[in-house]
Each structure stands twice: as structure tokens, then as C-alpha cells.
Amino acid sequence: MASHSDTLVVFFGATAGANGGKLGSDEREIILLVWQIVDLHEKKVGKLHRCLVKPDTVELTDQCKEETGLSLDDIVTAEPLDKVLQQFHQSVSSEVKCLGRSSYTLCVNSPLVVRQVLHPEASKKNLVLPEGFFSFVDVRKEFHRCCPDAGPVEKLTVSSMLEHVGLPAVSEQLTGVREVKSLVQLTLCLLDEPYKCNIYFFPPHVVACSSKAEPVDSETVIRARGLPWQSSDQDIARFFKGLNIAKGGVALCLNAQGRRNGEALVRFINSEHRDLALERHKHHMGSRYIEVYKATGEEFLKIAGGTSNEVTQFLSKENQVIIRMRGLPFTATHQEVLSFLGPESPVTDGAEGLLFVKYPDGRPTGDAFVLFSCEEYAQNALKKHKQILGKRYIELFRSTAAEVQQVLNRYMSTPLIPTLPSSPILSVPVLATPPFLPTASSTRDCVRLRGLPYAAGIEDILEFMGEHTADIKPHGVHMVLNQQGRPSGDAFIQMKSPDKAFMVAQKCHKKTMKDRYVEVFQCSTEEMSIVLMGGTLNRSGLSPPPCKLPCLSPPTAYTTFPTLPASLSEVALYQPPLLAAPRPPQTPAHSPAHTLAYYPPQPHLYMNMNMNYTAYYPSPPVSPSTVGYFAAPPGAVAAAVTAQPHHAAAAASPVLPQPGALVRMQGLPYNTGVKDILSFFQGYQLQPDAILILYNFSGQCSGEALITFPSEELARRAVAERSNHLFYGQQVHLIFCN
């Protein structure tokens, strides 16, 4: 029995778009397949087959029509791809069997038709390719091996190879037939040389973890952007179907909260496959197009590399499906998790296939990774998504080896608390200024701004807050940065009183800043301080920062600085890694009793401290930058405040948005808008800015609103006439407020 390399199937394909060297780059479908069997042992050829293929989108580019000579009328009556592939399999299997062989190898002039066209299209259409399409012989590379003086591989063409060996060009006019006949001639010519063809295979995607010590060639790595958040490494491997991804070569990137951010770094076996991957820029995964760019080996190892022996041991079992569990009770045991998953989804090696993620001090994070031996078991486990374990619902997601490594790196890494640099950028007396963070209290005199544009600066926040800028405390603006020192979209503002914070939260909530609406919530100094130190403040409640753990203490280098004031709070003792230096208050000469604060445009004053107390990743992690400037009203408002005496300035900040009589409206539907209330009070001379809808902590309408009427007479008449009336099916109550 001859080996499979003794039977070649010379193969050619064309698409409805780009062909030649750009074949497959525009994601167009196959419209033509041509093939012919060559018996290398007997030096004979079989019947030539030429099949047109009807694409799902019946459309041809002008370039395709010119190069292939085909028209819409030719392909509209053709068979779809699955039928043509079935015909290919039947005809080739029959001829191979007649030759007394059991297998064959594809022979192509370029790997593009197999790697960039056939495999990706079959994957999108959920078609199963015949086994023979997972290996092939590249004629150009074989010709270059036999005739190295013919020139570089990438410049070889069918006509140049025929000319080099003295063979006449094939006179056939039909596209595909001409190319296949030419390749058959070249193949038979190469038989005169010692012929041992190199076969190029498609290894399956293998899950594995990488070591930070492992060298990674930057010419083999790409970055894919725009991935659906639920994408797994298998989905990405499917997107790059036809290209050989290195073992453990898919690394999904996580954001600061530990969730996937739609990006992945992918490592291929060589630069040739990396270059083919770049040709898939803006190809589609479902309805979304994916951007593909070059990346470096350092970037790949930063995401996928690790040094944890625990992870290496956990992932040592290859070809396992990984599932991530999130939201586990902190007291959950191995047995409880195994029981939760049930007998229909057995975990590989029982408890050894379950990896709990913990903080460095051993506290559980609520995350775990589970190994399953097959897709069926993993699918059964995913059916448990959002089912209850104990008193908590559990989230289950597909995961990857790189994600396991990233999560373990973030949670289990040692906190970065080295000693301070010997010569910090700022002088020592700066540390003796009043503390950046106030003593924690439950007084709700702060507001949290969430959803700020990343490019937003101090001036943008001042403009956003408008007249309320006059009510900001000195040193009261706290910009929250992420772990990379970039804006996180959050900021905290300390107001002069809870009433001022309340009015800011109500008036500014969901106002627009640079085409983005910003959420504004009232909060306490304690909540602000805890979040700035790395804790969590969200709808689920308040979680303390890692720096409050007893295992952490301030660096000993603090002893080299002047003694801090005794009133310095515990939270203030743990200074964040990036702190803007405060400027002293500037007192105008004409009004010594009143201090006008301002924000000079000097964002470069930062301390070069490598102290990081947010090395653990709560949700969200922060590296806060406390901007220690004084807040001031912008423009004319600032000038007006400056001109007022101190006592007058204090009295000139009313709680009401405008003069008049105030009425509280209760019982509103949660989707109430300003226009709805204006319509309800039609005829009462109200303007849109006289209506203030109150929101709760979750950002929803609380069912109440404050309405400022032009006069007390109108307000009392509205209460008498409109109270207890129906408002979109609900009875509302009106209360006159003195």
C-alpha cells in the first residue's frame, strides 16, 4: 500500500471577491472549486472536476468577473458549498479507492485557498470539512526546495515555475482548469527529482499556560479587538480557523474589574501564520467585525504568562474544557461545589480539578475554575448558570488558561510595597501638609461622579457642576485612576454640607459631559475614603479596601519624614500611589475674609512613589489621585462670589434651584420625565428648570419631585387643585414646603 503522499489531489479555488495574493482577505465566499487526482507512483492523472459554487450572497465584484470570467448567471444556478464538498468527497474517495489507496493529500499553489478561504467559510457555515482538508502540500515551497535558484517563494507564480523548468504554458482558457493543469505538469516534473513532499498540518487548538520565562517572538503575536464579551479561546481559534495557533496561544484580556474587555492576544506558530491572521482584519465573528493588529511578545506574556506552580499543575491536564465560577459563598467547600455541579457534569479528577481563587492571606474571593474532560460535561455545567448555592446565585462562564493565569496573578500577587525612593521628586515638606483624605464619617456630604469621559479634566468637572462649584470644600476633588494610572471615569467631590451634596446629586445626575451622561450619587466621607483606598461602593453595598487588612502596614520609610499630625485618620495614613500636590489657598487682597479657590492648569505635580495598596483587584480597583486644589465657580459666578462679603457668600447658596415656593410631588411613576410633569401642571407658568426629579442611589426615579412655583399663591393653588389627581394611572400627592 502506497503512502498517502503518493496520491495528490491538485486543488484550486476562487472567491466572489479578491483572488490571487489577496485571496480570502475580503471575507468573500467561494464560487469555484477545481480538482484533479495525480498518482505519483504510476505518474498518472485522474479526471478533472470543475464545480461552480452558489454563495449565500449572490454578488460578484468587478475584479472577480474580470479574473474568473464568471457572471451572476453562471453561479445563480450552482449548488451550495455543502453540496459541492459532498461531491468532492465522493469523487475523490472513489478514485483513491480505485487506485488501491486509503488516503490522499491536497496539493495547492498557495495555502490561502485552504487556510484563508475554505476553513473560515466552513467554520462560519458550520460545515464539516473532509479529513483531507486538514493537511496539504504547497507546490511553491516544494518547487523552491527542488529549484532554489528560481527565486524567493513569495515571488513564485505558476507561469514563472513552468518557464524555469522549460515547460510550455497551458493554453486552457477556463479559470481554475488552467491553474490545475499547470500544477499537475509541475508535480509530474518534480517527480524526476528525489521527491519527499513536506506536508503542512492543521493542529487543533491546545489549551495550556505560558511561563513568564518563556521567550515569545513578537513576529508571531497579534491583538484582536471587538470580541463579544462571552467569547472563549475556542471561539477565537474558530475565528482564526485554518491558521496554526501555538500551544496555549490564546490570551483573553481582562479589564480592571476582572471581566473580559473584548480584546485577546493570540500567538501563532510562526510569522507566516501571523501575517495571514493580519489579513483577517475586520472579518466578522457573528454580527461583529474584529480588528486585528500586530502585538509584541512582551504584551502576550504580560497577559498569559505566570509563575504560579499551582496554576501550572492545575492546567497540566491538556485538552480540558475550563469553566469559571463567580459569586461563590466564601464558605463554599470542594464537596459543595462538586454537588452543585452534579453527576451530569463530573469534574476532572474530582477535587483536584477545582481551583479556588484566594487573596494572599488565604481569604476566598468567590471565584473558582473547574476542569471538564469534554464539551458535553462543560455544557451541562453551564446550564447551572445563575442557580443558587447556599444563598447566592452562581455565574458560570467559559474560560481559558490565560484567564486562569491572569486572575491568579491579580489576586495572589504580593502587594507592591517597596521602600520609598531615596530622592522623591517632591520635597519632604509636602508630606507635612494637611492630609488629602478627611477623617471618615457617615455624614453624606460627598458626591460620586461615575461615567466621566476618560479625557475629562478638572476644568470639565467645574463646567459640569456649574453654580455648585462654589460649594466644593478645599482639597475636595478626588480623581480616581485605574491600576495603570489612567482615568477610570470616576471622581469624588467633597461638598460643604449634606444639603449641597444632595442638590448636586439631584441637579447634575445624568447631565451630559462631552456626549456622555454622568451619574451623580450622594455618599458619605467614609464611603469615599474607602473607595479611594481600593474598596468597593456599588449597588451591592460597601466592601473595605485591602489596605485595611491587618497584614498590611505602612512602609517603614515613612519614619524618615516629619511626624504626621495626630489627627491623621487611619485611612489617610495609607496614601495612594499617585497624589497631586496641593497648592496653598490664594487669598485675594480685597477680601481677606473670603478665600477664592482655583484650579491652575498644572497636572504634572505628581509624587514618584511606588506604593501600591491596591495590588489586589476588588471591583473596581483604583489608584486614586487626590487633586488638592481649591474648587471655584467658573467665569462670572466666581467673580460674583469674590465680590461678596463672607457672610453674604454663605447666605447666597440656597438649597432651592431658583427663588419661589416649593412643592413636593410624591407617587410618581418610575419613568416620569420633566415633560410629563410640565403637562400635569399646564397653566401654572412653570419652566423646565423649575422641576427637579429626585433619584435614588441606583439612579432610578424615587417617585418624588420638587417643583418651584413662581409664587406662593400659585404653589398653594396647585396643591389644592392637583393633589390626589391621577398621573399616568397613579395617584400623586402634593405637599407645600415652607
Q: How far apart are CA 488 and CA 481, in angstroms?
A: 5
Q: How far apart are CA 73 and CA 365, in angstroms?
A: 62
Minimal CA–CA distance to 223: which of 164, 172, 264, 282?
264
Query: How many of the other CB atoms lie within 10 Å of CB of 308?
Result: 17
Are 53 and 80 in contact, with CB atoms under 8 Å apart? yes
pLDDT, one tens digit per residue, over 593-643 is 333 333 333 333 233 322 222 222 222 222 233 232 233 333 333 333 334
Q: What integer pLDDT is reported at residue 261 of this predicted model?
A: 79
CATH T-level topology, domain 446-533: Alpha-Beta Plaits (3.30.70)
Confidence grade of residue 55 (pLDDT, cut at 50, 70, 90): very high
Q: Render 400-438 in DSSP notation, one character per residue.
A: -HHHHHHHHHHHHSPP---PPPSS-SS-GGGGGSPPSSP
The CATH code that applies to domain 309-412 is: 3.30.70.330
Q: What integer pLDDT is reported at residue 377 of this predicted model?
A: 92
What's the chain's Rg over C-alpha atoms? 35
Q: What integer pLDDT is reported at residue 277 of this predicted model?
A: 94
E-assigned strands of 545-688? 625-627, 661-666
Task: Work out the average pLDDT over 383-398.
Answer: 90
Scanning the structure block, which residue is given the C-alpha cell 450572497? 57
CATH T-level topology, domain 661-737: Alpha-Beta Plaits (3.30.70)
Q: What integer pLDDT is reported at residue 696 of this predicted model?
A: 61
pLDDT, one tens digit per residue, over 440-470 is 677 889 999 988 888 887 778 888 888 888 8
- Is the pLDDT confidence value at 515 over 70? yes
Question: Which cell numbers in the block locate residue 682?
Answer: 399646564
Across all residues in the chain, what is the average pLDDT?
A: 74
E-assigned strands of 639-738? 661-666, 691-695, 701-709, 726-727, 730-731, 733-737
Q: What integer pLDDT is reported at residue 535 of this predicted model?
A: 60
Query: How many of the other CB atoms lie within 10 Å of CB of 670?
Result: 9
Q: How far apart are CA 34 and CA 13, in angstroms?
A: 6
H or E element: which one contains 250? strand 245-254
| Half-sphere CA count of 672, side-chain side, radius 13 A | 28
Domain 218-304 has CATH 3.30.70.330: yes
Q: Do domains 446-533 and 661-737 have the same CATH topology?
A: yes
Query: Hey, which of 24-38, 598-612, 717-731 has the most confident mean pLDDT?
Result: 24-38
The CATH code that applies to domain 7-191 is: 3.30.420.10
- Is the pLDDT confidence value at 661 over 90? no
Q: What integer pLDDT is reported at residue 628 of this predicted model?
A: 29
pLDDT, one tens digit per residue, over 195-217 is 455 666 566 555 455 555 567 88
The residues pairing with 334 across neighbouring beta strands, listed in sequence order, are none
Phi-psi region of 515 (alpha: psi -120 to 50; beta: other; left: phi over 0): left
- Tell me if residue 736 falls in helix, strand or coil: strand
- Is the pLDDT confidence value at 265 over 50? yes
Question: Which cell numbers in the block locate residue 500?
Answer: 449641597
* Cα-Cα-Cα-Cα dihedral sign, residues 564, 566, 569, 571: positive
Question: What is the share, in percent, of the chain residues with pLDDT greater than 90?
Answer: 25
pLDDT, one tens digit per residue, over 121-152 is 998 898 989 888 988 888 888 888 888 888 88
Q: What integer pLDDT is reported at residue 562 of this predicted model?
A: 37
Q: How far apart are CA 225 and CA 628, in angstroms?
A: 37
Confidence grade of residue 590 (pLDDT, cut at 50, 70, 90): very low
Are 245 and 198 in contact, with CB atoms under 8 Å apart? no
pTM of the predicted structure, to 2 decimals: 0.49
Q: How far apart are CA 582 and CA 430, in angstroms?
A: 8
Confidence grade of residue 420 (pLDDT, cut at 50, 70, 90): very low
Q: What integer pLDDT is reported at residue 543 of this predicted model?
A: 55
Task: Work out the average pLDDT over 176-181.
Answer: 91
Task: Work out the average pLDDT over 557-563.
Answer: 35
- Is the pLDDT confidence value at 436 over 60? no
In the chain, domain spans: 7-191, 218-304, 309-412, 446-533, 661-737
